[in-house]
C-alpha cells in the first residue's frame, strides 16, 4: 500500500538508513573517552595508533617509493583497470605467496582498497542477515563494524593470552557455533594481542573448521611480521581441505597503510567457494578497484623490496617490545603479554591496583602524555595496548613514564573490583 | 530455533549472500554480448569505454603528475588519514567549488574512492530496504547496481533526448513518486546522453524537488566538461532550499579515473541531512578513505591545473563530437543526439533499418572493428553510444566506417519492428 505523492509544506530531518546507523566503530567511542588533554610539561608520545608511519622510524622502503614514482611516470595506470585489479598486480601476489603447499592463481586473487575492504567483501559475500560470523575477542573491532550494518551477527570467541603462545579457546568456540554460522575470522599474527599461533595450534584450528565444515576468513595483514622466535604460517599453506579466504595488504609489512591496497586470495577447495567468489567479484565492481597507481607499483614492491628491509622492521619492533617488556616487568599489579608478532603489546593491569583500563589510559595521558588505547577498544577490558613502532628512545621514555605512573598511583583508585584476565567482555557481546 | 552444532561429513558449495548476488552491473551482460571478434583486416577502434586515458589523446595535466610525485616524495601521506579524508584535501574542494551561491565548508565534504564510492555512500545512507530512489533512464547503470543489493528500489524516470537540450520528464516523474521515495539522482552533464541541463531546467527540477521535499543526489562528475555553447551550473548553486548531496571526483575532468578519488559535498539546508551526514561519515570508516597519496596531491591538482588544460580537453571532445556528427548527419534511419557535455554521443538507429542496438553493435565490431556500447547498457534501447575521447583521426575513421556500414547494411535486418525514440525500456524496469 502506497499513498499518492503529495506536495509537502516543510522539510523535516531525514532519518539515516539502518545500514549507516548500524555502522559503528567501537574504537571511536573509546577514543573519544580518551580525548583528554596531555600534560603540557611532558612531550607527547603516541602509542595508540596502529600506523607504523607515525613515528618516522619505519618509513616505506626506497623500492616502494621508486615503484610509485615509476607507476606515475609511465601513464600506464591513469585509466580504469579491471574491478578485480590489474592482472600484473594479481600475478605478483601469486608469485610471492603461492607455493606447492599453497596453490592458487591470479584468478583467485581480487584486489581491494586496503585489507579493510578485503574483509568487507569477504564478509558481505558469505553471510546474510541473521547469519553469524565468529570473531576474535580480543580482536580488531572492524570485523564487527562490517558485520552489523548487514544484521550479520558477530559472535565473539575467546583468545587466551595467558600462556607462552596465544591460543583460540576451541572448546568454547564449539559451544557458540550454530546452523547460521557462516565463517570463522582468524587473525594471525593478532591485533591487539601481538600473538602468533603456533603451527600445531593452526592445525587444530583447521581441524576444527573441517569438523564443522566452516570456512575461514584469515586476516593475515601482519603475516611475516613475527619475532621473538615465532614463525608465521599462512593458514592456507597448512590445509588442502578447508576453504580459506585470505585477506591481506601492504599496509603493515610495507608500512604504507595510507596507500590503501589490499587483496583477497580465495582458496576454493572442493569448489566450496565457487559462488562466493562470484559474489566477491561482483562486489569489487562497486568501487572499481583500488588506486591504479598503487596497483601499477605492486609488482615491483612485492618482488624487489630487499629482505633486509623486513629484517630491519622486525628488529625495530622486537627491540621495542623487549625494552618495554623489561621496563614494565616488575611493576606490581601489571602483566605484560610478550608479543611475538604484529606491532602491539598487551599489558594487563589489575583493577584493584589501577582501576579500569579506560580510566588508566585517561590518567596516563593527563599525567604522562603517553597515549595508549584501553583494551576495551578491542574487547579486552583490563588491558591496555602499546603500539611498538616508535623510536627506541621514545619507547623507552614512554615505558619509564608508565612505570613511574604506576608506582606513583598504585592502589589510589577507588574502583576496587578485580579485573579478569580473560580479556573477554561478555557483557558487551551483543551491544556496540 | 537453532539446532546444535554438529560435525559435518562433507563440504558443500556455499551459497553467496543475497547482497552479493544482487550486485549486478547490467553493462556486464551487454558487454559480454558484444564480446565478438573484430574484423582482422581493420584496425580496432575502441569507443566503448568512458575512460579518457584509453586513446592517449587526453593525458592528465603535468600539474597532476607533478603533484603525485611530490606527494610520494614528502612521506607525509604514507599513513592513515581521517576516514573522511585529509583536511587539506577537503579544504581544497571548498576553495575550488564553494561560492556565495554555493556555501559549504570542509566539514561538509567527505572523500571517497572515486565518484562511484561517493554514490555508494550517499545511497546507502539515505535509503532502507523497500525505499526507492529515482534514477535516470537513459542513465549510468551503477546507480541500480548500488541500490539493488540493499533492496532499495531503483525507480527509473525518463530523460527526453529529442529536443535541442536534454530534459527530465518531470510530469512523468511526478507519477512515480510515492511515500517511500527517498531521493532523486540527477546526473548532469549526463552519461550516456551527452546532455547538459539548462539553468531554467535545473531550476524546474529543484522546484519539483522542493515541492515534494525530495533531496537530490547530484552526480556532477562531468561538471564543467561542457561545450557546443552549453554552460554547467552546479545544482547546489541554484537553490538555497533543496538539500543536495553532490557526488564528484577527479576521474573525468582531470582524466585520471584510475586514481580513484572522489568526494561528496553535503549541502545540508535546514539541517535536513544532519543524520544522513553522520551516516556518511560512519560509512567512510569501512575502508578508511581513498589512497592518501592522491589525497596529498589533490590540493595542488585543484589549485594549479591551468585553465588551458580544460580548454584543450573540452576542445578535443567538441571537435570529435562535431566531426562524428557531421559524418553521420545524413545517414538514413540514424539520428545523432548532439552532445553538449560529458564525453559521449548517443546515436539513435531505426530498428526497421538496422535491427536492435545490440545486434547493430555486434555487427559493427565484426565488420568494421569499431567498438561502441549498445544503448541497452544504459536503458536506452534503439541507440548506441560513442565515446568521444580518441584522436581526431580515429574518430573520423570510426565515423566513416559506421557510415559505410550503415549504407551497406540498411534494411538487411530481419528484425523489422520500429524502435522507440524514448530511450526507455519499460519492460526492463524491474529486472536486471
Ligand atoms: C587485524 C587487522 N586487519 C586489518 C586491518 C586493516 O588494514 P588496512 O589498512 O589494509 O585496511 C588492520 C589495521 O589496523 C588490522 O589491525
Ligand atoms: C555518470 C557517472 N557517474 C560516476 C562515474 C564513476 O566515476 P568514478 O570513476 O570516479 O568512480 C561515472 C563513470 O563513468 C559516470 O559516468
| Predicted confidence (pLDDT) per residue in A74-85, tens digit | 999 999 999 999
How far apart, in whole angstroms, are the C-alpha atoms of residue A344 and residue A216?
24
Provide the pLDDT for residue B144. 97
Please report which confidence band the pLDDT of residue A240 belongs to, taking 50, 70 and 90 as the band edges.
confident
Quick check: A3 pLDDT over 80?
Answer: no
Q: How would you write chain B as a 3-class SS string?
A: CCCCCCCCCCCCCCCCCHHHHCCCCHHHHHHHHCCCCCCCCCCCEECCCCCCCCCCCCCCCHHHHHHHHHHHHHCCCCCCCCCCCCHHHHHHHHHHHCECCECCCHHHEEEECHHHHHHHHHHHHHCCCCCEEEEEECCCCHHHHHHHHHCCEEEEEEEECCCCCCEECHHHHHHHCCCCEEEEEEECCCCCCCCCCCHHHHHHHHHHHHHHCCEEEEECCCCCCECCCCCCCCHHHHCCCCCEEEEEECCCCCCCHHHCCEEEEEECHHHCCHHHHHHHHHHHCCCCCCCHHHHHHHHHHHHHCCHHHHHHHHHHHHHHHHHHHHHHCCCCCEEEECCCECCEEEEEECHHHHCCHHHHHHHHHHHHCEECEEHHHHCCCCEEEEECCCCHHHHHHHHHHHHHHHHHHCCCCCCCCCCCCCCCCHHHCCCC
Residues from chain B contacting residue A89 (CB–CB below 8 Å): none
For residues A196 and A343, the answer to whether their CB atoms sit within 8 Å is: no
Q: How far out from the chain centre does Cα B56 lie?
A: 21
| Model confidence pLDDT, tens digit, residues B5-17 | 678 889 999 999 9
Quick check: A242 pLDDT over 70?
Answer: yes
Provide the pLDDT for residue B425. 36
For residues A148 and A122, the answer to whether their CB atoms sit within 8 Å is: no
The answer to whether the CB atoms of B291 and A259 lie below 8 A apart is yes
DSSP string spanning A20-31?
Answer: HHT---HHHHHH
Question: Average pLDDT in the B356-369 region?
Answer: 96
Provide the pLDDT for residue A297. 98
Quick check: B432 pLDDT over 50?
Answer: no
Residues from chain B contacting residue A10 (CB–CB below 8 Å): 213
Question: Average pLDDT in the B149-165 region?
Answer: 97
Q: Which residue has the cell 565444515?
A: A213
Distance from CA of A340 to the nearest CA of B (A): 23
Could you tell me the distance, in angstroms and rounded to a whole number, from the CA of residue B116 to the centre of ligand 2?
Answer: 6
Closest Cβ–Cβ partner in A6, A174, A178 for B2 = A178
Could you tell me the distance, in angstroms and rounded to a whole number, from the CA of residue B376 to the centre of ligand 2?
Answer: 18
Q: What is the mean pLDDT of chain B?
A: 93
Calculated CA dihedral for residues A213, A151, A278, B29, nearest 10 degrees: 160
A window 205-244, beta carbon within 8 A of B: 211-213, 215, 241, 243
Contact of A36 with chain B, judged by CB distance below 8 Å, is answered with no
| Model confidence pLDDT, tens digit, residues A157-173 | 999 999 999 999 999 99
The answer to whether the CB atoms of B258 and A182 lie below 8 A apart is no
Quick check: A388 pLDDT over 50?
Answer: yes
Q: Which ligand is nearest to the CA of A187?
A: 1
Q: What is the mean pLDDT of chain A?
A: 93
Distance from CA of B7 to the nearest CA of A (A): 5
Provide the pLDDT for residue B337. 97
A window 182-201, beta carbon within 8 A of B: 182
Quick check: B347 pLDDT over 80?
Answer: yes
Provide the pLDDT for residue B165. 96
Please report which confidence band the pLDDT of residue B429 belongs to, taking 50, 70 and 90 as the band edges.
very low
Quick check: A428 pLDDT over 50?
Answer: no
Provide the pLDDT for residue A5. 64
| Model confidence pLDDT, tens digit, residues B96-153 | 999 999 999 999 999 999 999 999 999 999 999 999 999 999 999 999 999 999 999 9
Q: Which ligand is nearest to the CA of B261?
A: 2
For residues A45 and A389, the answer to whether their CB atoms sit within 8 Å is: no
Quick check: A21 pLDDT over 60?
Answer: yes
Quick check: A20 pLDDT over 60?
Answer: yes
Q: How far out from the chain centre does Cα B291 lie?
A: 21
Provide the pLDDT for residue A77. 97
The answer to whether the CB atoms of B288 and A12 lie below 8 A apart is no
Q: Which of A287, A298, A300 to mutate to test the interface with B (most CBs of B within 10 A)?
A: A287
Instruction: Please give the grid coordinates belonging to residue B345.
Output: 554521443
Question: Average pLDDT in the B272-278 region?
Answer: 98
Residues with Cβ < 8 Å from A370, sequence gap 6 or more? A45, A47, A364, A398, A401, A402, A405
Which of A3-17, A50-64, A167-181, B365-379 is predicted least confidently? A3-17
Phi, psi (degrees; rounded to nearest 5) at A151: 55, 30
Provide the pLDDT for residue B9. 87
Ligand 1 pocket check for A190: Cβ under 6 Å = no
Question: Average pLDDT in the B74-103 region?
Answer: 96
Residues with Cβ < 8 Å from B331, sequence gap 6 or more? B402, B403, B406, B407
Nearest one of B76, B35, B274 to A258, comparing CA atoms: B76
Residues with Cβ < 8 Å from B207, sequence gap 6 or more? none
Quick check: B227 pLDDT over 50?
Answer: yes
| Model confidence pLDDT, tens digit, residues B38-78 | 999 999 999 999 999 987 899 999 999 999 999 999 999 99
Q: How many of the other CB atoms lie within 10 Å of CB of A163? A: 9
Residues from chain A contacting residue B13 (CB–CB below 8 Å): 271-272, 274-275
Quick check: B338 pLDDT over 80?
Answer: yes
Nearest atom within ligand 2 for CA of residue B261: 10
B window 406-425, beta carbon within 8 A of A: none
Provide the pLDDT for residue B428. 33
Please report which confidence band the pLDDT of residue A123 belongs to, taking 50, 70 and 90 as the band edges.
very high
Provide the pLDDT for residue A236. 97
For residues B96 and A96, the answer to whether their CB atoms sit within 8 Å is: no
B68: closest chain A residue by CA? A72
Please report which confidence band the pLDDT of residue B426 belongs to, taking 50, 70 and 90 as the band edges.
very low
Please report which confidence band the pLDDT of residue A415 belongs to, taking 50, 70 and 90 as the band edges.
low
Provide the pLDDT for residue A400. 98
Ligand 1 pocket check for A290: Cβ under 6 Å = no
Provide the pLDDT for residue B416. 45
Quick check: B415 pLDDT over 60?
Answer: no
Please report which confidence band the pLDDT of residue A422 belongs to, taking 50, 70 and 90 as the band edges.
very low
B394 versus B55: the higher-pLDDT residue is B394
Could you tell me the distance, in angstroms and rounded to a whole number, from the CA of residue B118 to the centre of ligand 2?
Answer: 10
Provide the pLDDT for residue A29. 80
Percent residues over pLDDT 70 in chain B: 94
Q: How far out from the chain centre does Cα A403 lie?
A: 27
Amino acid at each position: 500500500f502506497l499513498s499518492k505523492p503529495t506536495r509537502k509544506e516543510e522539510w523535516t530531518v531525514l532519518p539515516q538508513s539502518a545500514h549507516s546507523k548500524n555502522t559503528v566503530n567501537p574504537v571511536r567511542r573509546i577514543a573519544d573517552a580518551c580525548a583528554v588533554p596531555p600534560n603540557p610539561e611532558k612531550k607527547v608520545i603516541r602509542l595508540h595508533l596502529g600506523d607504523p608511519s607515525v613515528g618516522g622510524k619505519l618509513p616505506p622502503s626506497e623500492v616502494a617509493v621508486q615503484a610509485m614514482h615509476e607507476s606515475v611516470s609511465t601513464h600506464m595506470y591513469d585509466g580504469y583497470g579491471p574491478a578485480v585489479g590489474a592482472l600484473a598486480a594479481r600475478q605478483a601476489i601469486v608469485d610471492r605467496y603461492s607455493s606447492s603447499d599453497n596453490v592458487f592463481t591470479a584468478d583467485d586473487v581480487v584486489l581491494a582498497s586496503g585489507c579493510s575492504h578485503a574483509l568487507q567483501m569477504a564478509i558481505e559475500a558469505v553471510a546474510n542477515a541473521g547469519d553469524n560470523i565468529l570473531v576474535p575477542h580480543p580482536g580488531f573491532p572492524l570485523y564487527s563494524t562490517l558485520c552489523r550494518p548487514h544484521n550479520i551477527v558477530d559472535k565473539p570467541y575467546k583468545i587466551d593470552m595467558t600462556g607462552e603462545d596465544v591460543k583460540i579457546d576451541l572448546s568454547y568456540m564449539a559451544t557458540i557455533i550454530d546452523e547460521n554460522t557462516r565463517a570463522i575470522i582468524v587473525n594471525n599474527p593478532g591485533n591487539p594481542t601481538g600473538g602468533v599461533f603456533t603451527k600445531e595450534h593452526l592445525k587444530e584450528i583447521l581441524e576444527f573448521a573441517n569438523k564443522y565444515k566452516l570456512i575461514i576468513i584469515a586476516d593475515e595483514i601482519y603475516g611475516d611480521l613475527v619475532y621473538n622466535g615465532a614463525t608465521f604460517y599462512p593458514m592456507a599453506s597448512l590445509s588442502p581441505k578447508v576453504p580459506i579466504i585470505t585477506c591481506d595488504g601492504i599496509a603493515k609489512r610495507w608500512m604504507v597503510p595510507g596507500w590503501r591496497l589490499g587483496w583477497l586470495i580465495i582458496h576454493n577447495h572442493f569448489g566450496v567457494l565457487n559462488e562466493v567468489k562470484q559474489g566477491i567479484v561482483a562486489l569489487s565492481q562497486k568501487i572499481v578497484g583500488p588506486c591504479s597507481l598503487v596497483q601499477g607499483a605492486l609488482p615491483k614492491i612485492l618482488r624487489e623490496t630487499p629482505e633486509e628491509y623486513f629484517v630491519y622492521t622486525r628488529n625495530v619492533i622486537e627491540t621495542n617490545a623487549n625494552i618495554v617488556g623489561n621496563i614494565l616487568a616488575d611493576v606490581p599489579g601489571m602483566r605484560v603479554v610478550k608479543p611475538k608478532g604484529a606491532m602491539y603489546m598487551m599489558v594487563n593491569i589489575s583493577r584493584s591496583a589501577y582501576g579500569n583500563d579506560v580510566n588508566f589510559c585517561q590518567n596516563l595521558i593527563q599525567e604522562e602524555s603517553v597515549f595508549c588505547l584501553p583494551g576495551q577498544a578491542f574487547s579486552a577490558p583490563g588491558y591496555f595496548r602499546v603500539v611498538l613502532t616508535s623510536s627506541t628512545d621514545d619507547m623507552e621514555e614512554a615505558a619509564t613514564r608508565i612505570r613511574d605512573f604506576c608506582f606513583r598511583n598504585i592502589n589510589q583508585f577507588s574502583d576496587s573490583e578485580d579485573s579478569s584476565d580473560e580479556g573477554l567482555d561478555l557483557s558487551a557481546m551483543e551491544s556496540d
